[in-house]
Amino acid sequence: MQHYLSLQDIDSLSQWVEEAKSLKAAPLQHKSLGAGKTICLLFFNNSLRTRLSTQKAAMNLGMEVIVMNFGSEGWALEYGDGTIMDQGTSEHIKEAAKVVAQYCDVVGIRAFASLTNKEQDEAEVVLNNFKKYAGIPVINMESSVGHPLQALADAITLSENNSKKKPKVVLSWAPHPKALPHAVANSFVEMMHLQDADFVITHPKGYDLNPEITKNTKIEYDQDKALEDADFVYVKNWSNYQDYGKVLNQDKNWTMTAKKLGKAKFMHCLPVRRNVVVTDEVLDGEQSLVIEQAKNRTYAAQIVLKKVLASLED
Amino acid sequence: MQHYLSLQDIDSLSQWVEEAKSLKAAPLQHKSLGAGKTICLLFFNNSLRTRLSTQKAAMNLGMEVIVMNFGSEGWALEYGDGTIMDQGTSEHIKEAAKVVAQYCDVVGIRAFASLTNKEQDEAEVVLNNFKKYAGIPVINMESSVGHPLQALADAITLSENNSKKKPKVVLSWAPHPKALPHAVANSFVEMMHLQDADFVITHPKGYDLNPEITKNTKIEYDQDKALEDADFVYVKNWSNYQDYGKVLNQDKNWTMTAKKLGKAKFMHCLPVRRNVVVTDEVLDGEQSLVIEQAKNRTYAAQIVLKKVLASLED
Amino acid sequence: MQHYLSLQDIDSLSQWVEEAKSLKAAPLQHKSLGAGKTICLLFFNNSLRTRLSTQKAAMNLGMEVIVMNFGSEGWALEYGDGTIMDQGTSEHIKEAAKVVAQYCDVVGIRAFASLTNKEQDEAEVVLNNFKKYAGIPVINMESSVGHPLQALADAITLSENNSKKKPKVVLSWAPHPKALPHAVANSFVEMMHLQDADFVITHPKGYDLNPEITKNTKIEYDQDKALEDADFVYVKNWSNYQDYGKVLNQDKNWTMTAKKLGKAKFMHCLPVRRNVVVTDEVLDGEQSLVIEQAKNRTYAAQIVLKKVLASLED
C-alpha cells in the first residue's frame, strides 16, 4: 500500500516528475483509473490551493471526492493512549481513523503544527494515527513537519524551468508578522536532497531549521552571498525552530527584491504577503514562477493519487 | 412517496436487512438507479459517520450529492406560525423547505434535540415541516427523537453477528459528562421491537426513556443482572428524560468493562468517550462491533435511498 | 470569453429567457456540454438558493463542481495596490484569482456589499479583481451592486406568468429590521429596462436607489397609487442609499398585504421575513410566485453556464 506522508514515499523523484508532466499534458488520460473509488479530504486547517488542487486531481482520475472540515464539522479528537475522556474531546483518533476508512479508499489529511509543542508536532499524531489505524492509503495535505505535495509541485516546476545540469537553488528565509510552520521549508529541503543541484539555505543566525532535516546542506547566513549566481530562489518564512514557534526576527532586509533576485527565477508556495516576504515588483515580474507552482499542485496530487490507486490494485 | 423519518417507515425490517446485506456484497449493483437524481444533505449539527456514509451511499447509487451546513452556510430559520419576523430569524421553514425541494429529489436532514424544550423537541419541527412543505422524500439523519439510519445499521450488524433464534440483547446506559439526546436509544428500542429477541434495558433509577417508546420493554435497574447471559450489549448514554436534558448521574459503576460484558458482543453508535462510557479493553477487544456498525451505516443509508428512489418512480 | 457580471452581459434577454425555458423543459439535454469542465463556487457570504441552484445547474450540464466558503475555509484577502501586507490579510487577490483559475474553467463568486463604504462597494473589488486577474469566465452570484442570476430568474418567471403585451410591473420597497444591500433591487431594475413594460418603482421619500441605475424609471412615492392595476408586484427591502447602508425607515405601512396586492402576482427573491415584508396571506396565497422564482434560479444559472461554456469553445 502506497502512502504519501513525506518525500521518502517517492521511489524515484525524476520518474514521478516526468509522469506528472505527462499527466499535465493530458490530465484526463487516466479518467477511468479511479472509477468507483472515493477519497475523503479531511481539513483540520484552512486551505485554498490544497483544497482545490487535490479535488481537481482526484476528479481528473475519475474518483468520487468527499471534503470535510474536520475541526468545525466533526468531533473534537482525542489522541492520548488510555485517556479517561471526560473532558473536551468526544472521539478517539482510533475510532475516527477506522471509521473514516469504512467510507473511502484513500484519505487526505491536513493538520498543521501547533507551534506550541515541538515534541507533539514532530510526533505527527494526526497523520501517524491515521496511518496506524485507518488501514487505507493516507496522503499528507500538509502536516506539522512536511508539505510533500507542495514539494513535489516545486520539483515539477523546477524541472520545467531548468536548463542546467546542476542549477544553483537557494532557499531564502523571509520576514513575516505571524508564526508560520516549518513544513514547506522542510519538504523543499528534503526534495532538493533527491536531485542534483547546488543547494544553499540562507537565513538569519539562529533561524536554522531542524538539523535532522537539513543534514549537511550548505547554510550561508549572508543572504547576498547566498544569492550570487542563483538560478532559482525559493523564498519562505518560518518561525524560529530552536525557540520553537517564536517570531524573533522580522528584519525587512531579508525581504526578496528584484535587485537581490538578479536573474534568478522566483518561487514561493503561496499565500504570500506582498512587500513583506517579497516585493510587488518580483511577484508581478516575469521571473516569478508562483502561479506555475500553484498549477503544478494539481499534477503533483494527481501523480500521487495515480500511484496510490495503482497500489490498491496490487 | 417513501419518507424515512423513523423505524415506522420500514415495512419489513428483516427484508430491508437482507437487501442491505446484498448491497454490501456488491455496492455498485444499482449504480444507474440514481442517475439524474440529486440529494441534498442539510446539517444543522455536526456529523462524521452520517455525513460520510450517506454521501457514500448516494454516490454508490449514482446520485448527485449536495452537502450543506444549514446552520452556518444558510439563514436562521423561523418555525412559528404567524410570527412577525422582525427578530433574529431570516427565513421561514415554509419557504426554506419548498425552495430546497426545487433543487433536489430527496432531502436528508440532521437536526438534534435542544434538550431544553421537551415539547418542542418532540414536535420534531425541522423534520416535520420539511415533510409537510417540501413535497419530496425526507430522510432523518438524526432528529430530536430518533436516529433511524443508525438503528437500521445496528439491525444489519446484529443480523450479521447473531447465530441464535432469540438472542439476548441488552441496552445499557452509561455515564457521560455532557447532556446527550435520546435519539439513538429511542430508535434502537424501536428497532428491537421489530424483531424477535430477549430485549432488556438497564439504567439507573430515574433514567427511564420515554415510556411511549419503550412501551412494555423489560427494564432492569440492576446492571449485572440485566447483563447475565447477554449475547449483545448496546451501550449508550442519554441525559435524563423526566428532568429533561439534565445530567443527574455520572456514576462510573455503569461504565462497560470486559468483566461486565462477559462473552457478549459490544455495540455503540460512536463517537464514544473511552474509559467513561466503555473501557479501552472492550473497544480494542475482539467482541467489539463498533467499526462494523459504522461500516453498515453506508448500507443502511443505501437501502433507504434505494427504497426512496423506487418510490419516486411509482 | 463570456462573463456574467451584470445584466449588461446578456446580448438578448428575450432569447436567453426562451433558451432557459427550453432547459427547464429538459434540464439534462446538454449533459455532455460541461464534461471535463470544472466550476468553482466561492462564497464570501451565506447562501441557500444560489448555493443549491448553481450547483444543480452545473451538474445538469455535466460539470464538476467545487464549492468553497472562501471566508472561513481560505485566507483573508488583500485588495489594495502596493500594500505592505504586515497586518490581517494573508493573500492578495492578484494571487488568489490567478491561483483559483489554475483549478477550474469557470468561477462563481458571491461577495456582498459591506454597506459601510459606498465607494468601495461600488468598485466591486472582489468581482472585478477576479475578472481582471483570473483569466477565466466569472459569474456573479451576488455582488455589492447586483444579483443578475436572480434578475434573470425573475425574467423567466415574468415571462412564464405574463399574458399581456405590456404588463404593469411595480417594484415596491418594504420595511426590514436589518440593513440590506441594493443588489437585488438594482438588477431587477436593470432587467426591467431590457423589456417592454409599464415599470414603476415605489418607496418612501429618501429611499431612492442609485439614480445611475434607475435612470428615467418612473418613481411614485405613493405606494397605493403605484400599485393601481399592477400585474406584477416585486417587493424588496433595501437600506438607504443616500445615507449609505442606514435603516432610516421601518414603516409597517409599506408591508405588502393581500389588499394592496389586489389581483397582481407577488414576487420576492427570498429569504423573506413574514409579516414584516409581506403578510402570510400573500405568501401562502395563489398569487405568490416566490417558489417558481426559486425554481427558475436553476435555469437562469444553467443558461448562463451554457453561454459561458460555449464561449470557452470559441
DSSP character string of B160-191? HH--SSS-EEEEEE---SS---SHHHHHHHHH
CATH number at residue C170: 3.40.50.1370
pLDDT at C167 over 80: yes
Instruction: List, as one string, the DSSP characters of C137-150.
Output: -EEESS-SS--HHH
Strands (DSSP E) contained in B179-296 are 198-202, 218-219, 232-236, 265-267
Amino acid identity for residue A85 in this structure: M
pLDDT band at A194, cuts 50/70/90? very high
The chain B residue lying nearest A71, using CA atoms, is B46
Are residues A244 and A171 part of one domain?
Answer: yes
pLDDT at A105 over 80: yes
DSSP H or E stretch at residue A157:
helix A148-161
| Predicted ipTM > 0.90 | yes
Are residues B275 and B196 part of one domain?
Answer: yes
pLDDT of res. B25: 98
Whether residue B262 lies inside any domain: the answer is yes
Give the minimum alpha-carbon distance from B215 to chain A in angstroms, rounded to a whole number. Answer: 31
Are residues C172 and C64 part of one domain?
Answer: no
Whether residue A1 lies inside any domain: the answer is no
pLDDT at C314 over 90: no
User: Furthest-apart CA pair in chain B: how many Å?
Assistant: 60
Q: A44 — alpha (psi -120 to 50), left (phi > 0) or beta?
A: alpha
The chain A residue lying nearest B43, using CA atoms, is A73
Residues 201-260 of C with CB under 8 A from A: none
Whether residue C127 lies inside any domain: the answer is yes
Q: How far apart are CA A264 and CA A266, in angstroms?
A: 6
Q: How far apart are CA A157 and CA A296, in angstroms?
A: 7
Q: Which residues of C are annotated as a binding site for carbamoyl phosphate?
A: 47-50, 75, 110, 147-150, 269-270, 297
For residue C135 the three cell numbers come to 483569466
- Determine if residue B274 is labeled as part of a ligand binding site: no
* C52–B40 C-beta distance less than 8 A: yes
Give the minimum alpha-carbon distance from A210 to chain C in angstroms, rounded to a whole number. Answer: 25
Are residues C61 and C16 part of one domain?
Answer: yes
On whether any CB of chain C is under 8 Å from the CB of B90, the answer is yes
| pLDDT tens per residue across span B254-268 | 999 999 999 999 999
Give the minimum alpha-carbon distance from A104 to chain B in angstroms, rounded to a whole number. Answer: 8
Enclosing domain of residue A79: 7-146+297-313
Are residues C154 and C285 part of one domain?
Answer: yes
pLDDT of res. A211: 98
Long-range contacts of C253-257 (CB under 8 A, 24+ apart): C253/C223, C254/C172, C254/C173, C254/C174, C254/C175, C254/C203, C254/C204, C254/C223, C255/C174, C255/C175, C255/C279, C256/C172, C256/C174, C256/C282, C257/C281, C257/C282
pLDDT at B57 over 80: yes
On whether any CB of chain A is under 8 Å from the CB of B268, the answer is no
Instruction: Classify burial at A32, counting beta carbons within 10 Å of its beta carbon; exposed 0-12, middle 13-18, buried 19 or more.
Output: exposed
Percent of chain A past pLDDT 70, that is, above it, reads 100
Cα-based distances in Å from C126 to C7, C110, C207: 18, 9, 26
pLDDT band at B156, cuts 50/70/90? very high
For A258, residues 6+ apart whose C-beta sits below 8 A from its C-beta are: A279, A281, A282, A285
Are residues B190 and B69 part of one domain?
Answer: no
For C48, residues 6+ apart whose C-beta sits below 8 A from its C-beta are: B68, B73, B74, B75, B91, B96, B99, B100, C271
Cα-based distances in Å from A234 to A187, A192, A194, B156, B246: 12, 11, 16, 55, 57
For residue C300 the three cell numbers come to 437562469
Whole-number mean pLDDT of chain A? 97
For residue B92 the three cell numbers come to 421561514
Whole-number mean pLDDT of chain B? 97
User: Following CA atoms A224, A227, A228, A231 in sequence, which dihedral angle do they give, to the nearest 10 degrees?
Assistant: -160
What is the crossing angle of helices A93-100 and A125-134, to 10°?
60
Query: Closest by alpha carbon to B63, among C104, C59, A225, A164?
Result: C59
Whether residue C1 lies inside any domain: the answer is no
For residue B16 the three cell numbers come to 430491508
pLDDT of res. B313: 85
Tell whether omega for the bond before B271 is within 30 degrees of 0, i.e. cis: yes
For residue C4 the three cell numbers come to 456574467
Section A75-79 average pLDDT: 96
DSSP H or E stretch at residue A193:
none
The closest CB to that of A51, out of C68, C83, C98, belongs to C68
Q: How far apart are CA B36 and CA B40, in angstroms?
A: 13
The closest CB to that of C52, out of B72, B90, B103, belongs to B103
Whether residue B277 lies inside any domain: the answer is yes
Whole-number mean pLDDT of chain C? 97
On whether any CB of chain A is under 8 Å from the CB of B272, the answer is yes
Q: Report chain B residues whose CB lies below 8 A from the CB of A38.
A: 56, 59
Are residues B215 and B125 part of one domain?
Answer: no
On whether any CB of chain A is under 8 Å from the CB of C94, the answer is yes
Whether residue B66 lies inside any domain: the answer is yes
Are residues B283 and B170 part of one domain?
Answer: yes
Bridge pairing between strands C106-110 and C138-140: parallel
pLDDT of res. A313: 85
Percent of chain C past pLDDT 70, that is, above it, reads 100
User: What's the CA angle centered on C171, arms C168 and C177, to 5 degrees?
Assistant: 155
The closest CB to that of B52, out of A89, A90, A103, belongs to A103
Cα-based distances in Å from B84 to B75, B207, C257: 17, 39, 13
pLDDT band at C71, cuts 50/70/90? confident
pLDDT band at A265, cuts 50/70/90? very high
Q: How many domains does chain B have?
A: 2
pLDDT of res. C313: 85
pLDDT band at A267, cuts 50/70/90? very high
pLDDT at B314 over 80: no
pLDDT at C272 over 90: yes
Amino acid identity for residue C305 in this structure: L
Q: Report chain B residues whose CB lies below 8 A from the CB of C72.
A: 72
Task: Give strand pairing partners of A266.
Answer: A233, A288
On whether any CB of chain C is under 8 Å from the CB of B71, the answer is no
pLDDT of res. C193: 98
* C291–B98 C-beta distance less than 8 A: yes
Are residues C163 and C267 part of one domain?
Answer: yes
pLDDT of res. B181: 98
Residue with the three cell numbers 441488552: B170
Residue with the three cell numbers 459561458: C308
* C47–B74 C-beta distance less than 8 A: yes
pLDDT of res. A36: 94
pLDDT at A314 over 80: no
On whether any CB of chain A is under 8 Å from the CB of C104, the answer is yes
| pLDDT tens per residue across span C186-244 | 999 999 999 999 999 999 999 999 999 999 999 999 999 999 999 999 999 999 999 99
Instruction: List, as one string, the DSSP characters of A37-85.
Output: -EEEEEESS--SHHHHHHHHHHHHTT-EEEEEEHHHHS--EE--TT---
* B84–C274 C-beta distance less than 8 A: yes
Are residues C242 and C156 part of one domain?
Answer: yes
Are residues B289 and B154 part of one domain?
Answer: yes
Whether residue A80 lies inside any domain: the answer is yes
Are residues C173 and C241 part of one domain?
Answer: yes
pLDDT at B174 over 80: yes
pLDDT of res. A151: 98
Whether residue A31 lies inside any domain: the answer is yes
Q: Which of B37, B55, B103, B106 to mutate to test the interface with C (most CBs of C within 10 A)?
A: B103
